Amino acid sequence: MYTLRKTTVSDIADVMTIIDQGKTYLKASGVNQWQNGYPNKAVINQDINDGYGYVLLKHNKIVATIALSFDGEPWYDDIRDGAWLTKGDFLVIHRMAVRADFRATDAATELLRLAEELCISKGVTSIKIDTHPENMPMQKLVTKNGFQYCGVVILGAEGERLAYEKRLG
């Protein structure tokens, strides 16, 4: 049984370990994402301060991290080569990573399912996420979990990202 809760300052070391494992995994997979020092401790602290940071627990142990925001995403205002499925309020997912020894489990799917539950509890019926064009594991994960490809968004200096959305309810 997994549980989702807000990240606290005392979780930062565990969260950074998971983020660093994700960076190593992406690099070994040939994906040029999270290879420039991002995300770092300051970003995770900001997620905590903004109320975006969440951790996934199994048996009271942190096994994944995610940023969940209901505050919109300015980069998503301009979508190219497609269109979003919905207009209006949505949850945006960023900085999702699963502990290395939980990658081959259902942890990532549970993380998305619990994010959906959070949306439903707030009356929000859409989740949007973007990923690096080379990040095939994330593309596979979101597609498997009902997200539809919508187009391309540009995240400033980070460049092009593939954009996905899932309608809830």
Percent of the chain scoring above 90 in pLDDT: 93
Q: What is the pLDDT of residue 169?
A: 77
| pLDDT above 90: residue 157 | no
| pLDDT above 90: residue 76 | yes
pTM of the model: 0.95
- Per-residue pLDDT, averaged over 63-80, amounts to 97
- Cα 120 to Cα 43, 45, 93, 113, 169, distances in angstroms: 27, 26, 15, 11, 8
Q: Could you give the domains of the chain?
A: 2-167 (3.40.630.30)
| pLDDT above 80: residue 19 | yes
